[in-house]
Amino acid sequence: MRHRSARLRITAIAIAACGTVAAATAVATVSASSADSRARGVPLAAAIPSLTVAQLAGQRVIYSYTGLTPPAALISLIQHGEAAGVIFFGDNIASRTQIAAVIKTLEAADASASNPVRTPLLLMTDQEGGEVRRLPGPPYLSEKQIGESADPPAAATTAGTRGGNNLLGVGMNVNLAPVLDVFRAPGDFDDQFGRSYSMNPTVVSRLGADFITAQQHVGVAATAKHFPGLGAAAASQNTDAEPVTLNLPAATIRGDDELPYRAAIAARVKLVMVSWAVYPALGSKRPAGLSGLVIGGELRTRLGFKGVTITDALEAGALRGFGTTQNRAWLAAGAGMDLILCASGSPSQGQAAMSGLEHGYLNGTLNHAAFQAAVARILALRASLPA
């Protein structure tokens, strides 16, 4: 996850100063709503054809903004059904009261009569615990502290429950956590910020599943990240800043790094975030989030994940060789990513991503059936969250 300017420090923000998500053919509903109530749901399959191409594309984009007030451009996109959701960072939050009011404004935009998809927006942040918290409050322990605690399973469950309730209390419904990376050495990329439960993949599997189960039980969707794993990254190997290649044997990736995802999928994790690192042993020279071999081959086919996939930040330095925002979004969608995360702080980045998706759909370079299946998974996720 990229952290705008000071976010690269991954410091705590001190504010003082689906079950498995249904695929396109599953039985699900997209609820229509008004500002006061939700109308009776309509069949999910019937909702897809009613969307314009711009709306289909927009339903795959997560937007961001800078400062404490969402700009008019973002409100308009939501009102017109061209946004799946919003990610919040520390500079968007002055207090719980302030961000709760912002979320009510976004929800009111989502309830606009001009929006054909009036299910809950995906309102997300990185609330991993420890140093990586955007909202004041729990979970207070880092994953490393949980792994080293007297009762790690209980600590992971508590973190999931209290962290989920903390987010839900202001209206957020998706947490970009837990990190399921299996770190390799003290002080490496994950361990330097306490972002990994353990060097033991079995321990990471158990604690990650406990966190996921507890968090989703209170109504906040969990996101397992960063598939297939950044645990082997050295301290200086940061995909936010530059391209990263992890030269691991396929057997190690599948036996160690992917193991926690089996447990997460068994725990019905609703989203999986895919890494921007390159894993040559898996047969691709592209970052995992741009690789059908990783997304379709490893995650969907080998591990059987049926839920929603989400990219890491689209502006990451790891993608510097992959062109414009439009091109990156097009490549990610073509490889099998569902949600495109635009975290630069400007709605225009999300609009550019939407444009790339829209053009790919119109010119046929993005398969229509696969595109609509991705939108259906996203709409099913939205419909599964508390109104």
pLDDT in tens, 262-272: 999 999 999 99
The predicted structure's pLDDT at residue 77: 98
> Taking 60 as the threshold, does the pLDDT of residue 18 lie above it?
no
Summarised one tens digit per residue, pLDDT across range 103-137 is: 999 999 999 999 999 899 999 999 988 888 888 88
Q: Is the model more confident about 30 or about 302?
A: 302
Angle at 310 between CA 356 and CA 291, to 5 degrees: 70
Q: Quote the CA–CA distance of 78 and 376 in Å, as a whole number.
A: 18
pLDDT at site 129: 87
**Burial class of residue 9, CB neighbours in 10 A (0-12, 13-18, 19+):** exposed
Structural domains for the chain: 36-384 (3.20.20.300)
For residue 6, what pLDDT is reported?
33
Give dist(CA 70, CA 94) in Å, integer. 13
pTM for the model stands at 0.89
pLDDT at res. 20: 34
pLDDT of residue 133: 86
Give the H/E segment covering residue 124.
Answer: strand 122-125
Q: What is the mean pLDDT of the chain?
A: 89
| DSSP-assigned letters across all residues of 71-118 | -HHHHHHHHTT--SEEE--GGG-S-HHHHHHHHHHHHHHHT-TT-S--
Instruction: Give the model's pLDDT for residue 49.
Output: 60
Residue 227 confidence (pLDDT) above 60: yes
Q: pLDDT band for position 176 (50/70/90)?
A: very high
End-to-end CA distance of the chain: 27
Given phi > 0 = left and psi -120 to 50 = alpha, else beta, which region is 167?
alpha
Most confidently predicted of 7-16, 95-104, 378-387: 95-104
Q: Which of 111, 116, 91, 88 is nearest to 173 (CA)?
A: 88
Is residue 43 very low, low, confident or very high in pLDDT (cuts 50, 70, 90)?
Answer: very low
Decide if 179 contacts 188 (C-beta within 8 A). Answer: no
Q: What is the mean pLDDT of residues 213-234?
A: 98
Single out the residue of 61, 133, 129 nearest to residue 339, CA to CA.
61
Does residue 194 surpass a pLDDT of 90? yes
